[in-house]
Structure 1
Amino acid sequence: MLDYRLVQALDAVLTQGGFEKAAQSLYLTQSAVSRRIKQLEAQLGQMVLQRTTPPKATLAGQRLLHHYQQVRQMEAALGLSSADEKQSIRLAMNADSLATWVTEALLLPDHPGVRFDLVVEDQSVGLNRMKQGDVMACICASPEAVNGGAVVALGALRYRAVASPAFIRRYQLDSASPAQLASLPCLVFNEDDQLQHLYLRQYCGELPQHIHYCPSSEGFLKACLAGLGYGLLPELQMQQEFAEGRLVDLSPQLYLDVPLYWHHWQTESPLLQQLREQVQQVATKTLRHL
């Protein structure tokens, strides 16, 4: 049977950023915390902690902490733990949701002490985090629930192909067709990002031939503004740039709607239920209806 005192030590080391501060928070000696971690690893037969500065959880450690946080939330709901005890929620979501709409939903007035651990993954692969048991909930593009999980449709982010006026002048574009764009420099978030590929394939059957990888939502927008390439950006992210003429829609009649879904475990704590309901409320007023 799992000894949660050992898992508590792991949580403290990661939360406090080291063994010394973890020992202080648990009112233990540093050697006692170290022994608990070693005992936990002996019981599991694998490492739970990378001894880096600061320490990092292994995949097994992450799964264990996810389970530990669920247990703590259920205990809090049953009145078995202190109301002042801080709870953590580990979420996976796509970078564009984080950059545009979802942060409003993370404000939980009834739980001011909750800590969020946000994991950024492309909307096409974020569900893998749920399958691995690494996160408590996930926003991604898949409508298929994982085993033991449930899924809620949130809405869609609408993307448009945009570029700066300097980019348009450089390549002598007035109203660019998707076929023209296929050969021009385009921005792609990372190797998992297939939005530009989907857009071109949908409207002209082509694939992008000249790609710049830019794994940052803010950096992606700045690269577009600088004229490094064109890119698929969510309408929500560039309203001001459109209004000021710093970005131009290359094909105003064309767009790409990406559906988003909230995935959660069926054994949902009251805290996660409140978070889900709040995410749904914000999504309803912000995203496109599916």
Structure 2
Amino acid sequence: MMDYQLLEALHAIVNEGGFERAANKLFITQSAISRRIQSLELLLGEPVLIRSKPPKPTGKGIRLLNHFQQVLQLEMELNIDSLADTAASAMPITIRLATNRDSLATWLPEALSILNGLDQQQVKFELLVDDQSVVLNKMKSGEVMTCISSEPNAINGGKVSYLGMLRYRAVASPAFLSKYKVNVAQDLVKCPCLIFDENDNLQHQFLADVVKSDTDFVHLLPCPEGFKQALIAGVGYGMLPELQCVDALAENKLIILGDEYSIDVPLYWHYWQSEAPQLKALRTQALTVSSLRLFQPDK
């Protein structure tokens, strides 16, 4: 039978980004956590960690982390704790959730508040943020318990619930349009464009759909609120969630481009089949909030 303290050590090292921080989290020495990893690798006959900075799981390590997340949820569901002899078990339950940045900047915080009122063990959140097109990789690798993604298909051992569409608008400030003499959408091709990161293709999709062109003149700005403020300041134009720019549109700080053009990005809540009560409550609240805040094509 697998010793889950060994998997707990692997989980802590990957999540904390190193042996020393993982040892501190588990209230053990660094040599003790190293021995646990050595024991795990000896048991399996192959490495579970790539000794890089930070350490990364091998293929086998990813499968073990994936399994460990499901075990943690099953224990939460059954109200047991196989790691009860560790000091860390006295800490609040940690829910690790991976999400796209724009959900976190708009509707998701309202859903997260549900657990504050539940009469049960304390809960704390650890949120990992990435683009909606790639964030599911964090659940596949066993880093998180649940995930918000644009991928409609459930991963092995998981389930998926549809949340709704996050609608994006192409916007720019009046000052930007005046400065670059933008009168029609085609004038945007040579203007500076804002993107969040290398996975953000919404602006390129807007140009391809509306102008039948693309641009290499981009500013990289990986901060949701900073992205919005840069648009208002006239640094560039870009795609912003409609939920995030309603106030700026009403105050004429931003103007919609491309004849009311929009991109609707579908979002899905991914979770393991062995779903703990706390996570079920969170998912139920997320579905309620998203049904009110996100665009629902069938309504």
TM-score by length of 1: 0.83
| Mapped contact 1:19–1:34 kept (Cα < 8 A) | no
The match for 1:113 is 122
**SS of aligned partner of 2:243:** helix
Deviations 1:226-274, CA, capped at 9 Å, x for gaps: 2121000011112232233322223452222211111222232323222
The match for 1:46 is 47
Unaligned residue ranges in structure 2 (runs of 5+): none
Aligned residues: 284
Change (3 A) 1:163 1:269: same
Matched, 1:90 2:91: no
The match for 2:147 is 138
The match for 1:173 is 182
Matched, 1:160 2:158: no
Q: How does 1:47-62 map to 2 (within 5 A)?
A: 47-48=48-49, 56-60=54-58
Q: Distance in 1 between matches of 2:248 and 2:165?
A: 21
The match for 2:74 is 74
Deviations 1:179-200, CA, capped at 9 Å, x for gaps: 3323321111122111112222
The match for 1:7 is 7
Deviations 1:23-44, CA, capped at 9 Å, x for gaps: 6954x55543442233234334
Matched, 1:269 2:280: no
Matched, 1:125 2:134: yes
Change (3 A) 1:131 1:4: closer
Matched, 1:147 2:156: yes
Query: Kindly, what percent of the aligned residue pairs are identical?
Result: 46
Q: Distance in 2 between matches of 1:261 and 1:144?
A: 9
Q: How does 1:225-240 map to 2 (within 5 A)?
A: 225-240=232-247
Change (3 A) 1:214 1:78: same
Change (3 A) 1:112 1:104: farther
Unaligned residue ranges in structure 1 (runs of 5+): none
| Mapped contact 1:95–1:217 kept (Cα < 8 A) | yes
The match for 2:267 is 260
Is the deviation greater in 186-195 or in 115-124? 115-124
Matched, 1:247 2:254: yes
Q: CA-atom RMSD, angstroms?
A: 3.0
| Mapped contact 2:16–2:22 kept (Cα < 8 A) | no
Deviations 1:137-169, CA, capped at 9 Å, x for gaps: 221222222233222111111111111222111
| Mapped contact 2:23–2:29 kept (Cα < 8 A) | no
Q: Distance in 2 between matches of 1:159 and 1:5?
A: 45
**Which residue identity does 1:39 align to in structure 2?**
S
Q: Distance in 2 between matches of 1:17 and 1:116?
A: 20
